[in-house]
Amino acid sequence: MLTDYRVRQRDYLLQISRALTSRLNLTEVLNMILQQATDLLNGSAALIALVEADGTYRVRQSYGISEVLLERLGTLKFGGGLKQAIRELESRLVRLASEFGLGTWQVIAMPLQVGEDEFLGAIYVFRARGIPFGVSDRQLLQSFADQAAIAVNNARLYEQLAHEKRRLDAILEFSADGVAILDAAHRILTFNRTLSRLLKIPAERALGQRFEDVVKLVQKRSGMTLEEAEAGGWPIVGATRPVRVEGDLRCSDGSTVSVEIAFVPLFSREGRLINIIADVYDLTRFRIAEEIKATFISAISHELKTPVTLIKGYASTLLRQDAQWDEEVVRESLRVIEEEADHLHELIENLLDASRAQTGRFRLSPVELDLNELVHKVARKFQAQAPTHRIQVALAEDLPLVFADEARITQVLGNLLSNAIKYSPPSSEIRITGQATPTEVILSISDQGPGIPPEEQERIFDRFYRGENALRGGKPGTGLGLYLTRALVEAHGGRIWVESDGKSGSTFHFSLPRSSALVTSATKQAP
């Protein structure tokens, strides 16, 4: 009779362990363990506490135990190893049960252990009444706990794996580089968002296609394509050196994009090629930066050459032994030399300022400044230099004071006025207006030049950027003026922007905080 009972128990145990180990969802597995254990030992409640990554011991799942009681248990931290933790929790639970008026609880606990020394946690089964747990119950729970531990371990590993996969998927999907994962026959298995955006091809359309049919290289600049590398014996097992190719890809709308692609092989343990990872790096910004740098170098060389040639020419003429120059010619020549030397000095200062602007190291000496006076002074100077233009100043009456560096604001006005003169036809009008708002003063400089197309209106403030009109019209310049102007205005806490329809004239506006606004906010901040 007893043997029969034992056989039935063993069969039952076997059934349970099969059911358990076939599941991979941790919560489901824990629930099942608790129900079966309660059933098996004729208990009334059960719980499982698992060791967490941070070493704490936490109730992960319970059965037949009230939430309030569980809350009182809280997170458990034990110093003396799992055995002590099990005993400690046992006595805590029994104490709490009687505190909650649940009567005397019998409790039996068993560690959930995989292998010799890997403790996952422990299982507890409670009997509210009836006969106390005996040796056979302990043995039964022991056999059950061993199976349960395997199931918990599998589910935990699976959970970790699933979590890791989700993390990798997210990294891949949101990577700044375009990434595709291919099988050994170059069929696309994964096509991330960046690549999809770069080539303007939805991922659904790319999946399952051959890489070469989707990511079409129309012009190779350097390196080796995947086919070329494979023809040369790539990849070699054990070597994970990527193959690189640089060139232009055709997007789905017909446009092209400059990229570098790195192919990395992924081998199975047996040395079979399972995947190729293609990392597509967009070189557009790099190309633009290269282009801008080249334009800048040619512009700055030109800008430096002109004054140097003039200085050299006039100085050589004056030094000629075979000629006598009258005083007027000498004076005029020296004036040109001085003017061109000033021009060189200004250029070098602009370059130094550009580097200061990049590192945010402008040193300002702000004072309470009357813009009315300053604007008229600068306008008079430029009117004298460009007599054919008509420079009109119309500032609002009682323009309030601003708190600014006089030399730097003179530079800002100078840059904007010299651009207005440079880009607009002679004898056209340039207007400087100014008005105040409750917090700032806004100065505006309008010209009747060719205007600035909307797509260029942000970029003209970039370092070294020169617009179409400047390049087409062969206007001198380095593309530094507006970059510096913006940096200077922003260093004062102001803003700068341009208004233009791209056809008839431009208006540059810049703002400076009102002196009183600054004083008020400074007072407000004072303790």
- Listing from the earlier edge strand, what are the strands of the sheet with 188-191? 188-191, 178-183, 273-282, 256-267, 243-250, 216-223
Residue 178 or 450 with smaller CB distance to ligand ADP = 450
Give residues 472-501 in contact with ligand ADP (rule: CB under 6 A).
477-483
The torsion angle over the Cα atoms of residues 83, 88, 94 and 96, rounded to 10 degrees, is -150
* Least separation in angstroms between CB 179 and ligand ADP: 37
Outline where DSSP puts E strands in 293-427.
367-369, 390-395, 402-404
Residue 45 or 460 with smaller CB distance to ligand ADP = 460
Give the C-alpha separation, 13 to 381, whole Å: 100
Which residues, 6+ apart, have CB-to-CB distance to 348 below 8 Å? none
- Binding pattern for the stretch 440-479 against ligand ADP, x by CB under 6 A and - elsewhere: -------x-xx-x-------x----xxx-xx------xxx
Residue 247 or 477 with smaller CB distance to ligand ADP = 477
Give the C-alpha separation, 60 to 178, whole Å: 40
* Least separation in angstroms between CB 359 and ligand ADP: 19
Give the C-alpha separation, 527 to 524, whole Å: 8
Give the C-alpha separation, 377 to 417, whole Å: 12
* Least separation in angstroms between CB 381 and ligand ADP: 18
Q: Are 274 and 267 in contact (CB under 8 A)?
A: yes
Residue 478 or 515 with smaller CB distance to ligand ADP = 478
SS (H, E, C) 237-304: CCCCCCEEEEEEEECCCCCEEEEEEEEEEEECCCCCEEEEEEEEEECHHHHHHHHHHHHHHHHHHHHH
Letter for the amino acid at 384? A
* Least separation in angstroms between CB 444 and ligand ADP: 12
Residue 56 or 469 with smaller CB distance to ligand ADP = 469
Q: Which of 140, 420, 512, 517 binds ligand ADP (CB under 6 A)?
A: 420
Q: Are 72 and 62 in contact (CB under 8 A)?
A: no
Give the C-alpha separation, 204 to 507, whole Å: 47
Give the C-alpha separation, 86 to 122, whole Å: 7
Q: Which of 126, 144, 191, 423 binds ligand ADP (CB under 6 A)?
A: 423
Residue 35 or 428 with smaller CB distance to ligand ADP = 428
Residue 173 or 462 with smaller CB distance to ligand ADP = 462
Stretch binding ligand ADP (CB under 6 A), from 161-169, 340-348, 417-425, 509-517: 417-425
Token match 């806490």: residue? 493
* Least separation in angstroms between CB 338 and ligand ADP: 23
* Least separation in angstroms between CB 500 and ligand ADP: 7
Give residues 183-242 in contact with ligand ADP (rule: CB under 6 A).
none
Q: Are 260 and 246 in contact (CB under 8 A)?
A: yes
Q: Which of 44, 192, 194, 506 binds ligand ADP (CB under 6 A)?
A: 506
* Least separation in angstroms between CB 494 and ligand ADP: 17
Structure tokens at 86: 């099990």
Residue 217 or 347 with smaller CB distance to ligand ADP = 347
The torsion angle over the Cα atoms of residues 353, 355, 359 and 361, rounded to 10 degrees, is -30
Q: How many CB atoms lie within 10 A of CB 179?
A: 19
Residue 206 or 480 with smaller CB distance to ligand ADP = 480
Token match 């063993």: residue? 10
Residue 510 sits in the site that holds ligand ADP (CB under 6 A): no
* Least separation in angstroms between CB 475 and ligand ADP: 7
Residue 229 or 489 with smaller CB distance to ligand ADP = 489
* Least separation in angstroms between CB 349 and ligand ADP: 14
Q: What is the CA radius of gyration of the chain?
A: 40
Pairing of strands 57-63, 45-51: antiparallel
Q: Are 296 and 479 in contact (CB under 8 A)?
A: yes
Residue 65 or 445 with smaller CB distance to ligand ADP = 445
* Least separation in angstroms between CB 419 and ligand ADP: 4
Give the C-alpha separation, 409 to 403, whole Å: 11
Residue 148 or 452 with smaller CB distance to ligand ADP = 452
Q: How many positions of this chain bind ligand ADP (CB under 6 A)? A: 21
Q: Which of 147, 190, 411, 419 binds ligand ADP (CB under 6 A)?
A: 419
* Least separation in angstroms between CB 196 and ligand ADP: 35
* Least separation in angstroms between CB 355 and ligand ADP: 16
Residues that bind ligand ADP (CB under 6 A): 419-420, 423, 447, 449-450, 452, 460, 465-467, 469-470, 477-483, 506
